[in-house]
Amino acid sequence: MNFVAALNDVAAKNLQVLEEQIRQAIADDEFIFEACEPLFKGGKRLRPMLFLLCANSKDDCPAERTMPLAVALELIHTASLVHDDIIDTSKKRRGVETANSKYGAQIAVLVGDYLFAKAFQLVAENNYGAQVQLILSKLVKDLCIGEIMQDRSLFEVPTMTEYYTRINLKTAIFLASCCRLGGIVADMDSREVENLTAYGSSVGLAFQIIDDLLDFFGDEKITGKPNGGDLKSGVITLPVIRALEQSDEAPKLRAIVTTGGSVDAAIKIIQATDAVDYCRTRAQAHIEAARVNLPLTLKTSAVLALEQVADFIVDRTR
């Protein structure tokens, strides 16, 4: 089940409008549409849906006010994935061929750049103001810093602090920004905005930890990616960090992950430790923190929807 299936009718209705407006946003040119349209198939739309849920969590916010920014958030997310796939030389994303695999890295870079530019064009055209533009600019900057940090430390075992810094930059800040923007667009007071931001940050940390687990232990037919992709690329994540602390075969595992060795051998060592349970416990703790931060002033239906999103973060299979 996807995130939207767990939400209320309003969220599902918003999703339908969102999909239509995403298609409109990339319809500038026939080739651009051909290159971009497959990139949006199969995504969870978590980021724009969090924004929309937060924007409508006290009072209904007009769609003409929220939808262009929701589209911009999904465009920014997709642009970052296009660039990630180039860096990782990935062949598949969400079960379909990546832009760099289909068109080559040069075209894929430009496709990603187009999506970034289109996102900021939508924000400028709809007069969201300097505060929103600043949040989005900082978001893209942080995504780049996180990617650079990751790329500069490939095949190196990070400390727990380094790992959390990286996933904060690559994932948590994005989800936090979506929730912050929802509060801002809805004209909430500063405390409510900060609480929603903290909710989004905690959800983002949990999301990335579960993502790192699925990279090893997910069903490839569901995730659309081969297991161990991060490890093959030299990205060392929490399941490995924990297994290295617990396993009697830690030297063997360290040799595998620092040289790009056998994924199957690494998975076998990780499974023999408490790494999976440890990661899920960590993720669940972040979800509980997210729940605590939900403002008491929100509509009951909005709180339930945001709690359902948090629950599906840890229960998801893709």
Task: Give the residue from 64, 41, 50 showing the smallest Cα distance to 3.
Answer: 50
Residue 67 tokens read as 């939808």
pTM for this structure? 0.92
Q: 206-261, pLDDT tens digit by residue? A: 999 999 999 888 666 655 566 778 888 899 999 999 999 999 999 999 999 999 88
Q: What are the C-alpha distances in Å from 177 to residues 50, 73, 255?
A: 10, 10, 38
Residue 160 has pLDDT above 60, yes or no: yes
Full residue range of the structural domain in which residue 150 is found: 4-315
Q: What average pLDDT does this structure show over 17-28?
A: 92
Which one, of 77, 262, 298, 303, lies nearest residue 189 by Cα?
298
Q: Residue 309 maps to which CATH number? A: 1.10.600.10
Give the pLDDT confidence score for residue 39 in this predicted structure.
80
The confidence score (pLDDT) of residue 1 equals 43
Does residue 275 carry a pLDDT above 50? yes
User: 105 versus 7: which is more confidently predicted?
Assistant: 105
- Sign for the CA dihedral angle at 255, 172, 49, 291 comes to positive
- DSSP character for 11? H
Query: What's the DSSP call for residue 61?
Result: P
* Pairwise CA distance, residues 69 & 73, whole Å: 6
Q: How many domains does the chain fold into?
A: 1
Percent of the chain whose predicted confidence (pLDDT) is above 90: 69
Structure-block tokens of residue 314? 């840890």
What 8-state DSSP symbol labels residue 97?
Answer: E
pLDDT at residue 8 greater than cutoff 80: no
170-201: per-residue pLDDT in tens?
999 999 999 999 999 999 999 999 999 999 99
